[in-house]
C-alpha cells in the first residue's frame, strides 16, 4: 500500500510522528469536512500528531464517480491511510457518519493491525439502523435534491440544515454556513453527497453490530441532549455494548457538540485522553 494515492484529503498538525507521540485521526460527519474540528485541533496539536481527514467526496477530497461511497469504503481508505503513514498509538475521533466510519476502521484495525489503536472518541456517532434525518433522506432522491440545490443554492440549503440540527439555531454564523456550503458549489460534490446518502447504511450492518463488543480500547462517547439527528439512545446503546466506554451528555446541545460547546467538549475529551477522566456520565 505504500505510495498508493488515496482519494482522501489529509492535513497534519502538531509534532511529527514518533515513538513517544500519539496520533489522533479526526473524521467528520455527512456533509462536513476537517473544518468541523477547528476548535479542538489547536489543543490536540500541543501534544499529539493530528491527522485531519476529508473523507472521499467531501471538502477538499477527490470526488470520483465510481459509486464506492459506503461507510465500509470510507473506513477502508482511513485504515489504509493509517497503515501507509505508519501511525501508532492512534486515537480515532469521529462525528456522526464519521463516528460510524471510525467504528468500522477500528474493526478493520483489529483484523489487520490491532496494535495501532489506543482509544476512541465518538461524537453523536451513527452506529445502528435508525430513521434517517431529513437532509439525508432528501439526498437519496437525486432529482429532487439537485433541484433544491439549483433553486435555492448551497448557501441557503446549508443554512437550513445547520439551523435544524443544533440546539440554538441563532448560534449558526454566516462564516460557518459558508464553510460548509463552499464545496457544494461544485457539481461533483453534490453528486458525491447523493452517492454517500444512497449507501449510508452499511450492507452488512447486521454482521457489524455484534462485533462492537470486540473493541476493547477505552472509548469516550459525547452526545448532545437535544440531538435530533442521532438520538441519545444510540449513545446509550453503544455504552452498553462497548466494554470500556463512558458516555457524557451535554445539555443545551444538539448534533454538533464540538461546534456548539467547543470548550466544554474539549475539556471532557482532554480529561479522557490524558488521564484526568473521572468516568462520570
Predicted pLDDT of residue 152: 96
Residue-wise pLDDT for 106-163, tens only, equals 999 999 888 999 999 999 999 999 999 999 999 999 999 999 999 999 999 999 999 9
**Tell me, what DSSP letter sits at residue 3?**
T
Q: In what order do the strands lie in the sheet with 245-250?
A: 9-13, 48-54, 22-27, 90-95, 117-123, 219-224, 245-250
Give strand pairing partners of 27: 53, 94
Residue-wise pLDDT for 91-101, tens only, equals 999 999 999 99
3-class SS of residue 123: strand
- Rounded to the nearest integer, the mean pLDDT of the chain is 95
Mean pLDDT of 217-228: 98
Grade residue 276 by pLDDT with cuts at 50, 70 and 90: low
Predicted pLDDT of residue 112: 85
Grade residue 281 by pLDDT with cuts at 50, 70 and 90: very low
Predicted pLDDT of residue 4: 62
Predicted pLDDT of residue 19: 85
Check residues 275 and 78 and name the one with the higher pLDDT.
Answer: 78
Residue-wise pLDDT for 249-266, tens only, equals 999 999 999 999 999 999
Rg (CA), the chain: 18
Exposed e or buried b for every residue in 32-59, given b needs 16+ CB within 10 A?
bbbbbbeebbebbeeebbbbbbbbbbbb
Grade residue 2 by pLDDT with cuts at 50, 70 and 90: very low
Q: What is the dihedral of CA 31, 122, 67, 210, to 10 degrees?
A: -150
CATH architecture of 9-131+202-273: 3-Layer(aba) Sandwich (3.40)
Predicted pLDDT of residue 1: 37
Contact present, 221 and 245 (Cβ < 8 Å)? yes
Phi and psi at residue 44, to the nearest 5°: -60, -40
pLDDT at 213 exceeding the cut of 50: yes
Residue-wise pLDDT for 3-34, tens only, equals 468 999 999 999 999 889 999 999 999 999 99
Amino acid at each position: 500500500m505504500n505510495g498508493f494515492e488515496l482519494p482522501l484529503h489529509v492535513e497534519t498538525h502538531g509534532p511529527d510522528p514518533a515513538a513517544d507521540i500519539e496520533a489522533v485521526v479526526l473524521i467528520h460527519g455527512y456533509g462536513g469536512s476537517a473544518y468541523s474540528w477547528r476548535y479542538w485541533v489547536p489543543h490536540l496539536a500541543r501534544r499529539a500528531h493530528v491527522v485531519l481527514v476529508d473523507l472521499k467526496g467531501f471538502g477538499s477530497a477527490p470526488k470520483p464517480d465510481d459509486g464506492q461511497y459506503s461507510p465500509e469504503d470510507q473506513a477502508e481508505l482511513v485504515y489504509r491511510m493509517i497503515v501507509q503513514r505508519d501511525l501508532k498509538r492512534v486515537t480515532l475521533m469521529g462525528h456522526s457518519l464519521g463516528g460510524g466510519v471510525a467504528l468500522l476502521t477500528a474493526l478493520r484495525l483489529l483484523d489487520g493491525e490491532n496494535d495501532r489503536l489506543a482509544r476512541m472518541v465518538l461524537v453523536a456517532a451513527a452506529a445502528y439502523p435508525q430513521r434517517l434525518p431529513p437532509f439525508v433522506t432528501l439526498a437519496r432522491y437525486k432529482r429532487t435534491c439537485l433541484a433544491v440545490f439549483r433553486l435555492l443554492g448551497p448557501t441557503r440549503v446549508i443554512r437550513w440544515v445547520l439551523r435544524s440540527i443544533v440546539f440554538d439555531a441563532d448560534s449558526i454564523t454566516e462564516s460557518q454556513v459558508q464553510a460548509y456550503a463552499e464545496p457544494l458549489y461544485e457539481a461533483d460534490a453534490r453528486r458525491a453527497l447523493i452517492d454517500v446518502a444512497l449507501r449510508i447504511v452499511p450492507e452488512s450492518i447486521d454482521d457489524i453490530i455484534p462485533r462492537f463488543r470486540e473493541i476493547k480500547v477505552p472509548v469516550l462517547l459525547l452526545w448532545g441532549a437535544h440531538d435530533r439527528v442521532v438520538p441519545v439512545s444510540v449513545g446509550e446503546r453503544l455504552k452498553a455494548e462497548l466494554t470500556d466506554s463512558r458516555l457524557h451528555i451535554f445539555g443545551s446541545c444538539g448534533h454538533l457538540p464540538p461546534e456548539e460547546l467547543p470548550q466544554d467538549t474539549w475539556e471532557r475529551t482532554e480529561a479522557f485522553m490524558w488521564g484526568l477522566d473521572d468516568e462520570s456520565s
